[in-house]
A and B are shown apart, each in its own frame.
Chain A
Amino acid sequence: MKFTEEHEWLRIEGDLVVVGITEYAAEQLGDVVFVELPEPETQVAKGDEVCVIESVKAASDILAPLDGEIVEANPALTENPALVNEDPQGDAWFFKMQIDDLSVLDAFMDEDEYKDFIA
Protein backbone atom coordinates (compact mmCIF):
# COMPACT_ATOMS: atom_id res chain seq x y z
CA MET A 1 0.00 0.00 0.00
CA LYS A 2 1.20 3.51 -0.85
CA PHE A 3 0.24 6.82 0.69
CA THR A 4 -0.15 10.40 -0.53
CA GLU A 5 0.43 13.67 1.30
CA GLU A 6 -3.32 14.23 0.94
CA HIS A 7 -3.87 11.23 3.25
CA GLU A 8 -5.08 8.86 0.60
CA TRP A 9 -3.96 5.26 0.28
CA LEU A 10 -3.34 3.53 -3.06
CA ARG A 11 -3.40 -0.23 -3.52
CA ILE A 12 -2.71 -2.12 -6.73
CA GLU A 13 -5.39 -4.65 -7.63
CA GLY A 14 -4.63 -6.39 -10.92
CA ASP A 15 -4.13 -3.58 -13.41
CA LEU A 16 -6.16 -1.08 -11.35
CA VAL A 17 -5.32 1.28 -8.50
CA VAL A 18 -7.77 1.26 -5.58
CA VAL A 19 -8.01 4.59 -3.69
CA GLY A 20 -9.26 5.37 -0.19
CA ILE A 21 -8.49 7.65 2.74
CA THR A 22 -6.19 6.73 5.61
CA GLU A 23 -7.18 5.88 9.17
CA TYR A 24 -5.54 9.14 10.20
CA ALA A 25 -7.69 11.13 7.75
CA ALA A 26 -10.87 9.35 8.83
CA GLU A 27 -10.05 10.07 12.48
CA GLN A 28 -9.47 13.74 11.68
CA LEU A 29 -12.73 14.03 9.73
CA GLY A 30 -14.87 12.56 12.47
CA ASP A 31 -18.21 10.89 11.82
CA VAL A 32 -18.78 10.70 8.06
CA VAL A 33 -22.44 11.21 7.14
CA PHE A 34 -22.39 11.59 3.35
CA VAL A 35 -20.16 10.62 0.45
CA GLU A 36 -20.51 11.81 -3.13
CA LEU A 37 -18.72 9.47 -5.52
CA PRO A 38 -17.49 9.99 -9.09
CA GLU A 39 -19.26 8.47 -12.08
CA PRO A 40 -17.49 5.47 -13.65
CA GLU A 41 -15.77 6.10 -17.00
CA THR A 42 -14.68 9.58 -15.92
CA GLN A 43 -11.28 10.81 -17.10
CA VAL A 44 -9.52 12.63 -14.29
CA ALA A 45 -6.26 14.54 -13.92
CA LYS A 46 -4.10 14.45 -10.81
CA GLY A 47 -5.44 17.02 -8.33
CA ASP A 48 -9.04 17.02 -9.66
CA GLU A 49 -11.71 16.99 -6.95
CA VAL A 50 -13.39 13.63 -7.50
CA CYS A 51 -15.27 12.89 -4.26
CA VAL A 52 -16.93 14.91 -1.53
CA ILE A 53 -16.91 13.64 2.06
CA GLU A 54 -19.21 15.30 4.56
CA SER A 55 -18.61 14.69 8.24
CA VAL A 56 -20.80 16.09 11.01
CA LYS A 57 -18.28 18.90 11.20
CA ALA A 58 -17.34 19.87 7.65
CA ALA A 59 -17.13 19.00 3.96
CA SER A 60 -13.85 17.82 2.41
CA ASP A 61 -12.71 16.73 -1.02
CA ILE A 62 -10.82 13.72 -2.24
CA LEU A 63 -8.44 14.62 -5.03
CA ALA A 64 -7.47 12.30 -7.87
CA PRO A 65 -3.99 11.06 -6.90
CA LEU A 66 -3.03 10.28 -10.51
CA ASP A 67 -4.04 10.92 -14.11
CA GLY A 68 -6.33 8.20 -15.37
CA GLU A 69 -9.88 6.90 -15.68
CA ILE A 70 -12.27 6.16 -12.82
CA VAL A 71 -13.64 2.70 -13.61
CA GLU A 72 -15.61 1.90 -10.47
CA ALA A 73 -16.86 3.62 -7.32
CA ASN A 74 -17.81 1.90 -4.07
CA PRO A 75 -21.62 1.84 -3.73
CA ALA A 76 -21.32 0.66 -0.10
CA LEU A 77 -20.21 4.18 0.88
CA THR A 78 -23.38 5.76 -0.47
CA GLU A 79 -25.45 3.25 1.50
CA ASN A 80 -23.38 3.51 4.67
CA PRO A 81 -21.08 6.54 4.86
CA ALA A 82 -20.05 5.50 8.40
CA LEU A 83 -18.04 2.68 6.80
CA VAL A 84 -15.35 5.33 6.22
CA ASN A 85 -14.86 5.52 9.99
CA GLU A 86 -15.30 1.81 10.60
CA ASP A 87 -12.86 0.41 8.03
CA PRO A 88 -11.10 3.25 6.20
CA GLN A 89 -8.21 1.19 4.87
CA GLY A 90 -10.30 -1.85 3.99
CA ASP A 91 -13.94 -2.02 2.92
CA ALA A 92 -14.27 1.77 2.66
CA TRP A 93 -12.35 2.15 -0.61
CA PHE A 94 -13.68 5.07 -2.69
CA PHE A 95 -12.88 4.30 -6.31
CA LYS A 96 -10.74 2.26 -8.66
CA MET A 97 -8.65 3.88 -11.39
CA GLN A 98 -7.07 2.67 -14.58
CA ILE A 99 -3.72 4.36 -15.15
CA ASP A 100 -1.15 4.04 -17.93
CA ASP A 101 1.86 3.06 -15.90
CA LEU A 102 1.62 1.44 -12.48
CA SER A 103 5.29 2.20 -11.80
CA VAL A 104 4.35 5.82 -10.96
CA LEU A 105 3.19 4.49 -7.61
CA ASP A 106 6.81 3.99 -6.60
CA ALA A 107 7.07 7.74 -6.06
CA PHE A 108 4.54 7.71 -3.18
CA MET A 109 5.26 7.09 0.49
CA ASP A 110 5.29 3.59 1.93
CA GLU A 111 3.65 2.90 5.28
CA ASP A 112 6.70 3.79 7.40
CA GLU A 113 7.26 7.02 5.50
CA TYR A 114 3.59 7.95 5.89
CA LYS A 115 3.72 7.27 9.64
CA ASP A 116 6.67 9.66 9.87
CA PHE A 117 4.74 12.16 7.74
CA ILE A 118 1.78 12.31 10.15
CA ALA A 119 3.88 12.04 13.31
Chain B
Amino acid sequence: MNALLRTPLYDLHQALGARMVGFAGYAMPVQFAGVMAEHRHCRAAAALFDVSHMGQIILGGRGAAQGLEALVPVDVAGLEPGRQRYGFFTNDAGGIEDDLMIANRGDHLLLVVNAARKAADLALLEGAMAGVEAVTDRALLALQGPGAEAALAALVPDAAAMRFMDVAVLDWDGVALWISRSGYTGEDGYEISVPEGRAEAFARALLAQPGVLPAGLGARDSLRLEAGLCLYGQDIDEATSPAEAGLGWAIQKVRRLGGVREGGFPGDARIMAEVAQGPARRRVGLLPQGRAPMRAGVALFAAQDAAEPVGQITSGGFGPTLDRPVAMGYLPVQQATPGTTVWGDLRGKRLPLQVAPLPFHSPSYRK
Protein backbone atom coordinates (compact mmCIF):
# COMPACT_ATOMS: atom_id res chain seq x y z
CA MET B 1 0.00 0.00 0.00
CA ASN B 2 1.27 3.46 -0.84
CA ALA B 3 1.94 5.84 2.01
CA LEU B 4 -0.97 8.13 2.70
CA LEU B 5 -0.60 11.75 1.72
CA ARG B 6 -0.78 14.36 4.46
CA THR B 7 -2.68 17.62 4.38
CA PRO B 8 -1.08 20.82 5.73
CA LEU B 9 -3.15 20.30 8.90
CA TYR B 10 -1.85 16.79 9.64
CA ASP B 11 0.23 17.88 12.65
CA LEU B 12 -2.68 19.88 14.03
CA HIS B 13 -4.98 16.86 13.79
CA GLN B 14 -2.41 14.81 15.69
CA ALA B 15 -2.08 17.51 18.33
CA LEU B 16 -5.88 17.66 18.73
CA GLY B 17 -6.09 13.90 19.26
CA ALA B 18 -7.87 13.00 16.03
CA ARG B 19 -8.44 9.42 15.01
CA MET B 20 -6.99 9.24 11.51
CA VAL B 21 -8.12 7.07 8.59
CA GLY B 22 -7.11 6.68 4.98
CA PHE B 23 -9.52 8.42 2.61
CA ALA B 24 -8.92 8.93 -1.12
CA GLY B 25 -5.20 8.45 -0.54
CA TYR B 26 -4.95 10.95 2.34
CA ALA B 27 -4.56 10.51 6.07
CA MET B 28 -7.69 12.32 7.29
CA PRO B 29 -9.30 12.82 10.70
CA VAL B 30 -12.47 10.72 10.98
CA GLN B 31 -13.29 12.09 14.41
CA PHE B 32 -12.02 14.18 17.32
CA ALA B 33 -14.45 14.18 20.29
CA GLY B 34 -16.78 11.69 18.56
CA VAL B 35 -19.02 11.71 15.51
CA MET B 36 -22.27 12.34 17.40
CA ALA B 37 -20.90 15.23 19.46
CA GLU B 38 -19.23 16.85 16.45
CA HIS B 39 -22.38 16.53 14.36
CA ARG B 40 -24.54 18.14 17.05
CA HIS B 41 -21.98 20.85 17.68
CA CYS B 42 -21.99 21.78 14.00
CA ARG B 43 -25.79 22.17 14.01
CA ALA B 44 -25.67 24.18 17.26
CA ALA B 45 -22.50 26.27 16.99
CA ALA B 46 -19.61 25.86 14.53
CA ALA B 47 -17.41 23.00 13.34
CA LEU B 48 -14.09 23.25 11.51
CA PHE B 49 -13.32 20.56 8.93
CA ASP B 50 -10.12 19.93 6.99
CA VAL B 51 -11.12 19.29 3.38
CA SER B 52 -7.66 19.87 1.92
CA HIS B 53 -7.82 16.49 0.19
CA MET B 54 -10.28 17.98 -2.29
CA GLY B 55 -8.99 19.28 -5.59
CA GLN B 56 -8.69 23.01 -6.27
CA ILE B 57 -8.29 23.75 -9.97
CA ILE B 58 -7.88 27.08 -11.74
CA LEU B 59 -9.14 27.50 -15.30
CA GLY B 60 -7.26 30.56 -16.49
CA GLY B 61 -7.32 30.20 -20.22
CA ARG B 62 -9.31 32.36 -22.60
CA GLY B 63 -12.66 30.77 -23.27
CA ALA B 64 -12.57 28.79 -20.01
CA ALA B 65 -16.31 29.23 -19.44
CA GLN B 66 -17.11 28.06 -22.95
CA GLY B 67 -14.71 25.14 -22.60
CA LEU B 68 -16.21 24.11 -19.28
CA GLU B 69 -19.74 24.30 -20.69
CA ALA B 70 -18.72 21.50 -23.09
CA LEU B 71 -18.12 19.26 -20.04
CA VAL B 72 -20.82 20.31 -17.56
CA PRO B 73 -24.55 21.02 -18.13
CA VAL B 74 -24.29 24.28 -16.22
CA ASP B 75 -24.69 27.92 -17.21
CA VAL B 76 -21.04 28.88 -16.66
CA ALA B 77 -21.04 31.82 -19.06
CA GLY B 78 -23.88 33.41 -17.12
CA LEU B 79 -22.23 33.00 -13.74
CA GLU B 80 -21.55 36.46 -12.33
CA PRO B 81 -18.09 37.40 -11.04
CA GLY B 82 -17.95 36.72 -7.30
CA ARG B 83 -20.51 33.92 -7.53
CA GLN B 84 -20.31 30.13 -7.31
CA ARG B 85 -22.50 27.39 -8.73
CA TYR B 86 -22.83 23.62 -8.20
CA GLY B 87 -22.39 21.33 -11.19
CA PHE B 88 -21.17 17.98 -12.46
CA PHE B 89 -19.09 16.50 -15.24
CA THR B 90 -21.24 14.16 -17.35
CA ASN B 91 -20.35 11.27 -19.65
CA ASP B 92 -21.67 10.12 -23.02
CA ALA B 93 -24.11 7.73 -21.34
CA GLY B 94 -25.64 10.62 -19.39
CA GLY B 95 -24.01 9.57 -16.12
CA ILE B 96 -22.01 11.70 -13.70
CA GLU B 97 -18.19 11.64 -13.67
CA ASP B 98 -17.84 13.93 -10.66
CA ASP B 99 -19.66 16.78 -8.96
CA LEU B 100 -17.98 20.08 -8.29
CA MET B 101 -18.22 23.74 -7.36
CA ILE B 102 -17.53 26.35 -10.05
CA ALA B 103 -16.60 29.88 -8.96
CA ASN B 104 -16.21 32.90 -11.21
CA ARG B 105 -13.26 34.89 -9.87
CA GLY B 106 -13.30 37.63 -12.47
CA ASP B 107 -10.44 36.74 -14.76
CA HIS B 108 -10.56 32.98 -14.15
CA LEU B 109 -12.69 30.13 -12.83
CA LEU B 110 -11.90 28.18 -9.67
CA LEU B 111 -13.19 24.62 -9.39
CA VAL B 112 -13.39 22.46 -6.25
CA VAL B 113 -13.64 18.74 -7.06
CA ASN B 114 -13.73 15.48 -5.12
CA ALA B 115 -10.44 14.07 -3.84
CA ALA B 116 -10.90 10.66 -5.41
CA ARG B 117 -11.71 12.20 -8.80
CA LYS B 118 -9.23 15.05 -9.06
CA ALA B 119 -6.71 13.21 -11.26
CA ALA B 120 -9.47 12.15 -13.66
CA ASP B 121 -11.01 15.63 -13.65
CA LEU B 122 -7.65 17.25 -14.36
CA ALA B 123 -7.02 14.90 -17.28
CA LEU B 124 -10.48 15.65 -18.66
CA LEU B 125 -10.00 19.41 -18.35
CA GLU B 126 -6.46 19.42 -19.76
CA GLY B 127 -7.71 17.48 -22.76
CA ALA B 128 -10.39 20.08 -23.36
CA MET B 129 -8.71 23.44 -22.82
CA ALA B 130 -5.50 25.33 -22.13
CA GLY B 131 -4.73 27.17 -18.90
CA VAL B 132 -5.70 24.37 -16.48
CA GLU B 133 -3.73 24.63 -13.24
CA ALA B 134 -4.03 22.35 -10.22
CA VAL B 135 -3.63 24.32 -7.01
CA THR B 136 -1.32 22.17 -4.86
CA ASP B 137 0.00 24.68 -2.33
CA ARG B 138 -3.18 25.61 -0.49
CA ALA B 139 -5.21 23.93 2.24
CA LEU B 140 -9.01 23.97 2.18
CA LEU B 141 -11.00 24.38 5.39
CA ALA B 142 -14.75 24.26 5.92
CA LEU B 143 -16.23 26.26 8.79
CA GLN B 144 -19.86 25.23 9.17
CA GLY B 145 -22.73 25.99 11.51
CA PRO B 146 -24.80 28.88 12.84
CA GLY B 147 -21.73 30.24 14.61
CA ALA B 148 -19.57 30.24 11.49
CA GLU B 149 -20.26 33.83 10.49
CA ALA B 150 -19.33 35.32 13.85
CA ALA B 151 -16.21 33.16 14.12
CA LEU B 152 -14.88 34.01 10.68
CA ALA B 153 -15.92 37.66 10.86
CA ALA B 154 -13.85 38.03 14.04
CA LEU B 155 -10.79 37.37 11.86
CA VAL B 156 -12.06 38.61 8.49
CA PRO B 157 -14.84 41.17 9.06
CA ASP B 158 -15.90 41.40 5.40
CA ALA B 159 -16.86 37.71 5.37
CA ALA B 160 -20.05 38.61 7.24
CA ALA B 161 -21.47 40.47 4.26
CA MET B 162 -21.13 37.49 1.90
CA ARG B 163 -24.29 35.66 0.86
CA PHE B 164 -24.77 31.96 0.14
CA MET B 165 -22.61 30.98 -2.89
CA ASP B 166 -20.69 34.26 -2.94
CA VAL B 167 -16.93 33.98 -3.41
CA ALA B 168 -14.34 36.57 -2.41
CA VAL B 169 -10.62 37.01 -1.80
CA LEU B 170 -10.18 38.54 1.64
CA ASP B 171 -7.08 39.33 3.66
CA TRP B 172 -6.20 37.72 6.97
CA ASP B 173 -2.91 38.70 8.58
CA GLY B 174 -1.35 39.46 5.21
CA VAL B 175 -2.61 36.25 3.62
CA ALA B 176 -5.09 36.10 0.73
CA LEU B 177 -7.94 33.76 1.71
CA TRP B 178 -10.14 32.42 -1.08
CA ILE B 179 -13.52 32.24 0.60
CA SER B 180 -16.88 30.90 -0.55
CA ARG B 181 -20.04 31.00 1.52
CA SER B 182 -21.02 27.38 1.01
CA GLY B 183 -20.52 23.93 2.43
CA TYR B 184 -21.63 20.35 2.67
CA THR B 185 -23.55 20.16 5.94
CA GLY B 186 -26.88 21.91 5.38
CA GLU B 187 -25.68 24.72 7.64
CA ASP B 188 -24.61 28.26 6.87
CA GLY B 189 -20.85 28.42 6.59
CA TYR B 190 -17.75 28.95 4.54
CA GLU B 191 -15.10 27.06 2.66
CA ILE B 192 -11.75 28.80 2.92
CA SER B 193 -8.66 28.16 0.82
CA VAL B 194 -5.47 29.24 2.59
CA PRO B 195 -1.77 28.96 1.63
CA GLU B 196 -0.42 25.74 3.12
CA GLY B 197 2.30 27.47 5.14
CA ARG B 198 -0.32 29.51 7.05
CA ALA B 199 -3.02 26.85 7.21
CA GLU B 200 -2.30 25.67 10.74
CA ALA B 201 -2.06 29.21 12.11
CA PHE B 202 -5.37 30.11 10.44
CA ALA B 203 -7.06 26.93 11.68
CA ARG B 204 -5.81 27.61 15.22
CA ALA B 205 -7.10 31.18 14.99
CA LEU B 206 -10.56 29.86 14.05
CA LEU B 207 -10.47 27.20 16.78
CA ALA B 208 -9.67 29.97 19.28
CA GLN B 209 -13.01 31.64 18.51
CA PRO B 210 -15.85 30.90 20.94
CA GLY B 211 -17.93 27.89 19.91
CA VAL B 212 -15.61 26.52 17.21
CA LEU B 213 -14.55 22.88 17.55
CA PRO B 214 -12.79 20.56 15.12
CA ALA B 215 -14.82 17.88 13.33
CA GLY B 216 -13.89 14.93 11.14
CA LEU B 217 -15.08 13.06 8.11
CA GLY B 218 -17.52 10.99 10.19
CA ALA B 219 -19.61 14.03 11.15
CA ARG B 220 -19.20 15.50 7.67
CA ASP B 221 -20.85 12.37 6.27
CA SER B 222 -23.77 12.27 8.72
CA LEU B 223 -24.35 16.02 8.30
CA ARG B 224 -24.48 15.85 4.50
CA LEU B 225 -26.72 12.78 4.66
CA GLU B 226 -29.26 14.62 6.84
CA ALA B 227 -29.01 17.56 4.42
CA GLY B 228 -29.82 15.22 1.50
CA LEU B 229 -26.54 16.02 -0.26
CA CYS B 230 -25.00 13.47 -2.62
CA LEU B 231 -21.66 11.77 -2.03
CA TYR B 232 -19.90 11.03 -5.30
CA GLY B 233 -19.18 7.30 -5.67
CA GLN B 234 -22.19 6.41 -3.50
CA ASP B 235 -25.29 8.44 -4.33
CA ILE B 236 -24.11 9.54 -7.75
CA ASP B 237 -21.66 7.88 -10.11
CA GLU B 238 -20.95 7.26 -13.77
CA ALA B 239 -24.16 5.23 -14.06
CA THR B 240 -26.57 7.71 -12.43
CA SER B 241 -27.97 10.61 -14.41
CA PRO B 242 -28.63 14.11 -13.06
CA ALA B 243 -32.41 13.72 -13.29
CA GLU B 244 -32.32 10.34 -11.53
CA ALA B 245 -30.26 11.92 -8.78
CA GLY B 246 -32.72 14.79 -8.36
CA LEU B 247 -30.10 17.28 -9.54
CA GLY B 248 -32.03 18.69 -12.49
CA TRP B 249 -32.25 22.01 -10.58
CA ALA B 250 -28.50 22.45 -11.19
CA ILE B 251 -29.06 22.54 -14.97
CA GLN B 252 -30.10 26.10 -15.76
CA LYS B 253 -32.75 26.83 -18.40
CA VAL B 254 -30.22 28.03 -20.98
CA ARG B 255 -28.66 24.54 -21.06
CA ARG B 256 -31.96 22.65 -21.23
CA LEU B 257 -34.08 21.76 -24.27
CA GLY B 258 -35.11 25.01 -25.93
CA GLY B 259 -32.48 27.07 -24.10
CA VAL B 260 -30.18 29.43 -26.00
CA ARG B 261 -27.19 27.16 -25.27
CA GLU B 262 -29.08 23.88 -24.98
CA GLY B 263 -27.04 20.66 -24.83
CA GLY B 264 -23.48 20.58 -26.02
CA PHE B 265 -22.27 18.51 -23.06
CA PRO B 266 -21.60 14.75 -22.86
CA GLY B 267 -24.83 12.72 -22.71
CA ASP B 268 -26.91 15.80 -23.50
CA ALA B 269 -29.68 13.97 -25.39
CA ARG B 270 -30.51 11.62 -22.53
CA ILE B 271 -29.96 14.21 -19.79
CA MET B 272 -32.13 16.89 -21.39
CA ALA B 273 -34.91 14.41 -22.22
CA GLU B 274 -34.93 13.09 -18.65
CA VAL B 275 -34.96 16.56 -17.14
CA ALA B 276 -37.92 17.45 -19.36
CA GLN B 277 -39.91 14.21 -19.06
CA GLY B 278 -38.76 12.68 -15.79
CA PRO B 279 -36.54 9.67 -15.18
CA ALA B 280 -37.60 6.05 -14.63
CA ARG B 281 -36.01 5.90 -11.17
CA ARG B 282 -35.24 8.55 -8.62
CA ARG B 283 -33.05 9.22 -5.61
CA VAL B 284 -35.29 9.30 -2.55
CA GLY B 285 -35.05 9.81 1.19
CA LEU B 286 -35.71 6.69 3.26
CA LEU B 287 -36.62 6.41 6.92
CA PRO B 288 -36.03 2.95 8.39
CA GLN B 289 -39.05 2.30 10.61
CA GLY B 290 -37.06 0.59 13.35
CA ARG B 291 -33.98 1.75 15.23
CA ALA B 292 -31.50 -0.27 13.15
CA PRO B 293 -29.49 1.83 10.68
CA MET B 294 -29.53 0.59 7.09
CA ARG B 295 -26.41 1.45 5.15
CA ALA B 296 -25.19 1.66 1.56
CA GLY B 297 -25.71 -1.57 -0.36
CA VAL B 298 -28.94 -2.71 1.36
CA ALA B 299 -31.29 -4.06 -1.33
CA LEU B 300 -34.79 -2.56 -1.44
CA PHE B 301 -37.96 -4.50 -2.26
CA ALA B 302 -41.47 -3.32 -3.16
CA ALA B 303 -43.06 -5.94 -0.87
CA GLN B 304 -41.96 -7.91 2.17
CA ASP B 305 -42.01 -11.17 0.21
CA ALA B 306 -40.90 -9.84 -3.19
CA ALA B 307 -38.22 -11.94 -4.86
CA GLU B 308 -36.42 -9.29 -6.89
CA PRO B 309 -35.11 -5.98 -5.53
CA VAL B 310 -36.33 -2.76 -7.12
CA GLY B 311 -33.56 -0.54 -5.78
CA GLN B 312 -30.76 -0.08 -3.32
CA ILE B 313 -29.64 2.17 -0.48
CA THR B 314 -26.71 4.36 -1.56
CA SER B 315 -26.06 6.17 1.74
CA GLY B 316 -27.39 5.32 5.16
CA GLY B 317 -26.63 5.62 8.81
CA PHE B 318 -27.76 7.30 11.97
CA GLY B 319 -28.91 10.91 11.82
CA PRO B 320 -27.94 12.53 15.13
CA THR B 321 -30.12 15.62 14.60
CA LEU B 322 -33.17 13.51 13.77
CA ASP B 323 -32.15 10.98 16.43
CA ARG B 324 -33.09 8.13 14.13
CA PRO B 325 -31.67 6.15 11.24
CA VAL B 326 -31.85 7.86 7.84
CA ALA B 327 -30.90 6.75 4.35
CA MET B 328 -31.00 7.66 0.68
CA GLY B 329 -31.33 5.34 -2.28
CA TYR B 330 -32.81 4.78 -5.70
CA LEU B 331 -36.32 3.52 -6.44
CA PRO B 332 -38.50 3.25 -9.54
CA VAL B 333 -40.79 6.29 -9.74
CA GLN B 334 -43.75 3.98 -8.96
CA GLN B 335 -42.29 3.47 -5.44
CA ALA B 336 -40.69 6.91 -5.08
CA THR B 337 -43.67 8.86 -3.68
CA PRO B 338 -43.15 10.01 -0.07
CA GLY B 339 -45.13 7.80 2.31
CA THR B 340 -44.60 4.63 0.28
CA THR B 341 -43.37 1.65 2.29
CA VAL B 342 -40.53 -0.40 0.87
CA TRP B 343 -38.55 -3.23 2.47
CA GLY B 344 -34.84 -3.47 3.04
CA ASP B 345 -32.89 -6.69 3.41
CA LEU B 346 -30.88 -6.34 6.64
CA ARG B 347 -28.86 -9.36 7.75
CA GLY B 348 -31.41 -11.69 6.14
CA LYS B 349 -34.48 -9.95 7.55
CA ARG B 350 -36.91 -7.76 5.61
CA LEU B 351 -37.45 -4.50 7.51
CA PRO B 352 -39.73 -1.62 6.46
CA LEU B 353 -38.62 1.84 5.38
CA GLN B 354 -40.78 4.79 4.47
CA VAL B 355 -39.99 6.95 1.45
CA ALA B 356 -39.50 10.51 2.70
CA PRO B 357 -38.87 13.94 1.17
CA LEU B 358 -35.29 15.22 1.04
CA PRO B 359 -33.65 16.91 2.80
CA PHE B 360 -34.29 15.40 6.23
CA HIS B 361 -32.81 18.52 7.79
CA SER B 362 -33.75 21.83 6.14
CA PRO B 363 -30.76 23.98 5.25
CA SER B 364 -30.18 27.34 6.92
CA TYR B 365 -28.18 29.06 4.20
CA ARG B 366 -27.73 32.86 4.34
CA LYS B 367 -29.34 33.75 1.03
Instruction: Give the segment of A8-16, A49-57, A88-96, A110-118 that binds chain B.
Output: A49-57
Known: A30-B218, A33-B318. A56 touches B35 (CB 8 A): yes
- Cβ of B317 under 8 Å from chain A: yes
With the chains together, A52 CA to B31 CA distance in Å? Answer: 22
Residue A67 interfacial (CB < 8 Å): no
Contacts of B367 in A (CB 8 A): none
User: Does B128 sit at the interface, judged by CB under 8 A?
Assistant: no
Asked whether B347 lies within 8 Å of A57 as measured between CB atoms, the reply is no
- B35 near A59 with CB under 8 A, answer no
Q: How far is the CB of B237 from chain A (nearest CB, A)?
A: 21
Q: Give the size of the chain A interface in residues (CB under 8 angstroms).
A: 12
Instruction: Please indicate the chain A residues that have their CB under 8 angstroms from the CB of B291 in the complex.
Output: 33-34, 81
Q: Which residue of A lies closest to B218 (CB)?
A: A57
Check if A31 sits within 8 Å of B292, measured CB to CB. no
Query: Do A33 and B293 contact each other (CB < 8 Å), given the known contacts A56-B35, A56-B222?
Result: yes
Neighbouring B residues of A34 by C-beta, 8 Å: 291-293, 318, 325
Chain A residues with CB under 8 Å of B295's CB are: 58-59
Contact of A30 among B34, B292, B293 (CB under 8 A): B34
Contact: A31 with B293, CB < 8 Å? no
What are 7 pairs between A and B in contact, CB < 8 Å?
A33-B291, A33-B318, A34-B325, A52-B292, A56-B35, A56-B317, A59-B295
Does A36 touch B at the CB level, under 8 Å? Answer: yes
Mask: chain A, 45-79; 1 = CB below 8 Å from B; 0 = not: 00000001010111100000000000000000000
Quick one: which of B31-69 are within 8 Å of A by CB? 31, 34-37, 39
Q: Across the interface, do A59 and B34 meet the contact criterion of CB distance under 8 Å?
A: no
**Please, what's the 1-or-0 string for A96-119, where 1 marks a CB less than 8 Å from any CB in chain B?**
000000000000000000000000
Kindly supply a per-residue 1/0 record for chain B positions 261-301, scoring 1 wherever the CB is within 8 Å of any chain A CB and 0 otherwise: 00000000000000000000000000000011101000000
Q: In the complex, what distance in Å separates the CA atom of A54 from the CA atom of B295?
A: 10
The interface residues of chain B lying within 8 Å CB-to-CB of A36 are 292
Q: How long is the Cα–Cα vector from A34 to B347 in the complex, in angstroms?
A: 14
Asked if A56 and B36 sit within 8 Å, CB to CB, the answer is: yes
